[in-house]
Structure 1
Amino acid sequence: MSYKTEFGPDFDLGFNLSDYPQLTDKSWHNDVCPSFWFKRDRQYFVLWVDFDSPDKRESESKRYTITTAKNFSCEEHPEIGLSDKSNCLFESEQLRELVIFMEYFKKDNSS
């Protein structure tokens, strides 16, 4: 798991990653926190999961943030990232709010 390699084996996402099979880990050590991409219809999204403690965060963002994203490669080998047109769709400190938001994306949609 890349997020554990990049942010340490004890990094706590606050949820069980296996509960969200649509999430693909895209964490990178140059980022301020772990990130995971997913797709709904033809739109890509990135879920950012920051440290639980605001004191450990490098920015003033909420613990859970979801932004729109773009595939800079092809469907077979996606390279998902933010573009100048990316928008923030969701921000929360609360896991329960993230769970509610993510329920929509748990539905099977392979288009």
Structure 2
Amino acid sequence: MKYKTEFGSNFDLGFNLTDYPYLKDKSWHNDVSPSFYFTIGSLYYILWVDYSDPAKREDTNDRYLIQEAINEGDDVNPEVYSSGGDIIFASENAEELSQFFKAFITITNKCNS
């Protein structure tokens, strides 16, 4: 798991990553927190997961933040960046994140039908 290499083996996401197989780890130590990208249809999004303790965070955002993103690469070699995209979800609560992803699966299934 790349995020553990970049942010330490004890970094707690607050959820089980294997429950979300569509999340692709794109974490990089120069970012403020671990990040994962996913798609809905042809659109890209990034989930940022910050520290559970607000005192350890570099900014005042919620722990879980989903932002619109762009893929500057291609499907084989994605280069996914937030590039100031709109925030579509923000919460401190992992259960609210889970609810968002349940809705995401519904939307994705409709896009693929």
- TM-score of the alignment, normalized to the shorter chain, above 0.5: yes
Deviation sequence 1:24-60 (CA, Å, 0-9, x none): 0000000010000000111000000000000000111
Amino acid at match of 2:15: F
Contact 1:67 1:88 (C-alpha < 8 Å) held by counterparts: yes
TM-score normalised to structure 2 length: 0.91
Please name the residue that 2:79 is paired with: 79
Q: Which runs of 4+ in 1 moved over 2 A?
A: 104-111
Aligned length: 110
Identical-residue share of aligned pairs (%): 50
TM-score normalised to structure 1 length: 0.93
How far apart, in 2, do the equivalents of 1:61 and 1:83 lie? 16
| Bigger helix share | 2
Please name the residue that 1:18 is paired with: 18
Structure 1, unmatched stretches of 5+, are none
How far apart, in 1, do the equivalents of 2:21 and 2:103 lie? 13
SS in 1 for 2:44: strand
Contact 1:2 1:27 (C-alpha < 8 Å) held by counterparts: yes
Please name the residue that 1:66 is paired with: 66
How much does 1:104 deviate?
A: 2.3
Amino acid at match of 1:10: N
Please name the residue that 2:91 is paired with: 92
Amino acid at match of 1:34: P
Amino acid at match of 2:17: L
Please name the residue that 1:39 is paired with: 39
How far apart, in 1, do the equivalents of 2:53 and 2:105 lie? 27
